[in-house]
Structure 1
Amino acid sequence: MADGRSSASVVAVDPEKAARERDAAARALLQDGPVQSLMQYMTKGLELTVPYTLKVVVDADKLGRAKEVADQVLLSAWSLADTVLNNYNPNSEVSHIGKLPVGQQHTMSAPLKRVLACCQRVFNSSGGSFDPAVAPILDVLRAALKPGAPVPQEELKSLMSVCTMPNSFLIDMDAGTIARKHDKARMDLGGVSKGYIVDYVVEKLNAAGYDNVFFEWGGDCRASGTNARNTPWMVGIVRPPSLEELKNPPQDPPFIRVIALDNEALATSGDYENLTEGPQQRLYTSIFDWKTRSLLMPSQTELAQVSVKCYSAMYADALATASLIQRDPVKVRYMLDRWRYVRDTVKDYTAYIRENECVARMFEVATESAEMRKNRIAGSLPARVIVVGGGLAGQSAAIEAANCGAQVFLIEKESKLGGNSAKATSGINAWGTRAQAKASIMDGGKYFERDTFKSGIGGNTDPSLVKVLSVKSADAIRWLTCLGVPLTV
């Protein structure tokens, strides 16, 4: 595989061969596995001109009720998308705000408040690259693409001086209000609204008792639980069309990567979406680029596509758009690294440049990819493993050895398994867990390592081993959770 395993781009020696290898491996991961007894309700359609797919996996006797609930949730979601977030609907809430008298406060609905909170965070994180307040600028630039239409430079200059979130709107999250600061102020929430609706559908179905859900709308998707084969939901990231293919993209594009979703979301933004032809047959996207002060154009040498995996589809959507506007994988890495241990954690990203098939993705130290694990196990000799001690560590080692194909013997002197872990009243320490992120707990490895090192003073405390324990602590929690061990940390 030619994909980069670090957060810097990797250039393949043979780009065409690398693309074929990636596609073959990706499609293999998406092949059907053994069919289980679970049933799947699936519905597809087109809403607000955007295709969607919903899958809900339940026991056979609950399929009818699942269909009824899922259809109700979808109807509610489409109504919300149109009446609150759709700036093409003149009667929507976001359109209403754009018509308010300057200074008049509007009390935001709960959905809009949540969306704008996301917009503010990503605006600040991206240095203003992601900015829904550029709607007036977009309208002028799109109109200028029409044949014979002039480019009103003075009007654009005037709009660019005032059309930013801080300059256009006074937003008070505590009071839940928003007001316009000037008469040109309007918002375009197209870079975040799909993600919000995806979150809404999955969260509503989870709250209704359906744990195994997959929903995709216009390339933004989120999954919870497992699919009908009781395996993780897998999503293929397609290879962007070449510059020569932009006007007639392939119907069945190859994959550059496949992502497994573990109660996570994935959103992709590319420079080939919603293209409009302008003067001299140049193609333009509907995204405003502050760097060039024009609409983003497809590029051979800069980022063409960015996919972001996150706990939230809304944040993944906004961050993918912000990353694409950065157009530089180094800038994307620095920006997304700051989202590793926050409430809406970024778990991975895939950034793609057309020239020489450059691919960059997030890599966490001391982790093992599925491919590395497969190769490691395949290269191991058949083994019989004896584990002495049936405590938490011993049982974990036994399970891992069994998963690798070994014959395992677990020896425990007590009448019950569990060891000291079963007797202890304390918890299991970790940092960077999903539970902490949801609770907005800003933990860090340095505190974990400091406390662990202090607890071993007087004994044998190896700093390098403490570091490994620290880095792997969240993985340990995730591993235990996957086994069904109830944890609250």
Structure 2
Amino acid sequence: MIRNWLKPVIQCCIIAVLLSGCRFYEQTDVQTFSGYAMGTSYSIKLVSTLSEARGLQIGVEGVLSDINQRMSTYLPRSDLSRFAELPVGESLQVDEKTITVVQQALNVARETDGAFDPTIAPLVDLWGFGPTARQSALPSGDAIAAELENVGYQEVGIDASEQSLVKLADRTLDLSAIAKGYAVDQVAQYLEAKGYSDFLVEVGGEMRFSGQKPNGDAWRIAIEKPDPMERAPFRLLEMRGHAVATSGDYRNYIEVDGQRYSHTIDPETGYPIDHDLASVTVVMDSCMAADAYATAFNVMGRAQALQKAEALNIAVYIIYREADGFKTEQSSRFTALFGNAPAL
């Protein structure tokens, strides 16, 4: 029999143990959750408790789902699908998020002299990288020339007062080279609005960073070696801010008769890019901007990309091919941020 005077002591000990367990369960650390959205994967790392992270995942997926509903080329009632059906000369009222992304896409198109072009969709589809079924044969020169007539960002207008897109000529929009970056920014803003300042957001390989780990270490990422036969780090970066986007030709491509054709189409020629540039990594404050510029620089090729990056003061890291292996070049802004560390 337990003496009466011992009962309160035992009860206090039990309560203390339970509270200690709760504190351990709710301790702040780097939490990770991931999923699938916008036709790709996403991953979030943030400094929080486990229960907080679980609650945030629902909100994050809501942010991503909303963007996909507006900017998918696969969903029949998305803003982009409705714009594709719009008669020439008419305007279409769309979500403000769509206006934001199209405006940035047109800005980058102008800055890069059309190397980035959000009206590239007909050529992407023709080469089998869009929502239409891929053909067994390569497109003919005549077919490419015909679709080039339907490409040109200058024929898409924005009426900000009406929150509308204007179709000045027969054009369709494809925001796949900028929307993932925008999604990263939107998720980062969602986390900030919830009071979190230490996190890493990744959607489809595009990333944004804020703060640091609980022990004071920076977030650490690797620029991937642009080799389709293996997945290996090429250079490590430590990040406490900024966004990172990479564009390359080594993962998404088709192969016909032993010849590889990149998924990145040059809007000027209508053909997949074909040069020694293997991958381009861009570091900027906005992941949306970094995503678009990475594609533009990949289209341009090494020399032109570096020249443009210097003119715009953009941090760029380029990996290119030579007979004896991969070589690198980087812009002065990239050097200012990360130094001249050699590849791994």
TM category, shorter? 0.7 to 0.9
* AA aligned opposite 1:46: Y
CA distance in 2, matches of 1:127, 1:235: 31
1:413-454, Cα deviation, whole Å (9 max, x unpaired): xxxxxxxxxxxxxxxxxxxxxxxxxxxxxxxxxxxxxxxxxx
The whole-number CA distance in structure 2 between the counterparts of 1:259 and 1:150 is 39
Cα shift readout 1:250-273 (whole Å, capped 9, x = no counterpart): 1x41x2211222321000000113
The one-character-per-residue Cα deviations of 1:95-148 (angstroms, maximum 9, x if unpaired) are 11111122221123121111112101110111101001011122223289733x
Offset at 1:226?
Answer: 0.8
Judge conservation of contact 1:38–1:229 (CA < 8 Å) in 2.
no
C-alpha spacing 1:40/1:364, structure 2 compared with 1 (3 Å): closer
Matched, 1:361 2:339: no
Q: Deviations over 1:35-81 (max 9, x none)?
A: xx7412210223244222101103x5xx423431x213322222123
**Identical pairs, percent:** 25
Instruction: Tell me which of 349, 361, 378 is aligned to 2:316.
Output: 349
Correspondence for 1:303:
277
Q: What is the rounded CA distance, in whole Å, between the counterparts of 1:365 and 1:214 in structure 2? A: 20
Separation in structure 2 between the aligned mates of residue 364 and residue 93 of structure 1, nearest angstrom: 36
State whether structure 2 residue 26 is matched by structure 1 residue 52: no
Match for 2:192 among 193, 200, 206?
206
**2:146 maps to what in 1?**
158
Aligned to 2:17: none
The 3 A distance-change label for structure 1 pair 162 and 260 is same
- Matching residue of 2:248: 270
Aligned to 2:294: 320
Unaligned runs of 5+ in 2: 1-26
**1:101-112 alignment runs, 5 A limit:** 101-112=87-98
Query: In the TM superposition, what are the counterparts of 1:142-181 in structure 2 within 5 Å?
Result: 142=128, 146-147=135-136, 149=137, 151-167=139-155, 169-181=156-168
| Residue 317 to residue 364, structure 1, CA distance change in 2 (3 Å) | closer
2:26 aligned with 1:41: no
- Give the secondary-structure state (helix, strand or coil) at the position aligned to 1:320: helix
> Pairwise mapping of residues 286-297 of structure 1 onto structure 2 (< 5 A)?
286-297=263-274
What's the RMSD between the two structures over aligned residues? Answer: 2.5
- 1:363-407 Cα offsets, whole Å, 9 max, x none, are 2599585688xxxxxxxxxxxxxxxxxxxxxxxxxxxxxxxxxxx
Kindly state the Cα deviation for residue 285 of structure 1 after the two structures are TM-superposed: 2.2
* Corresponding letter in the other structure for 1:359: T
Deviation for aligned residue 1:277: 2.3
CA contact (8 A) 2:157 2:166 kept: yes
- State yes or no: 1:331 paired with 2:312: no
Aligned: 1:195 with 2:181 = yes
Q: How does the TM-score come out when normalised to structure 1?
A: 0.59
Question: How many Å apart are 1:85 and its aligned residue?
Answer: 1.2
User: Which residue in the other structure is 1:436 paired with?
Assistant: none
For 2:298, give the aligned amino acid. Answer: L
The one-letter amino acid paired with 2:308 is M
- The CA distance in 2 between the partners of 1:72 and 1:365, in whole Å, is 35
User: Shift in Å at residue 311 of structure 1?
Assistant: 0.2
Is contact 1:144-1:150 (8 Å) kept?
no
Q: Does the 8 Å CA contact 2:316/2:334 hold for their aligned counterparts?
A: no
Deviations 1:307-341 (A, max 9, x none): 0011011111100010100112x21122122333x
1:209 CA displacement: 0.6
Structure whose residues are more often strand by fraction = 2
1:74 is matched with 60
Aligned length: 310
Distance 2:180 2:63 in 1: 10
Deviation at 1:228, TM superposition (A): 3.1
Contact kept, 8 Å, 2:120 with 2:267, in 1: the verdict is: no
- Which letter maps to 2:244? L
Gaps spanning 5+ residues in structure 1: where? 1-36, 341-345, 373-489
> 2:51 aligns to what?
64
- Kindly indicate whether the alpha-carbon contact (under 8 Å) linking 1:77 and 1:201 is maintained by their aligned counterparts in 2: yes
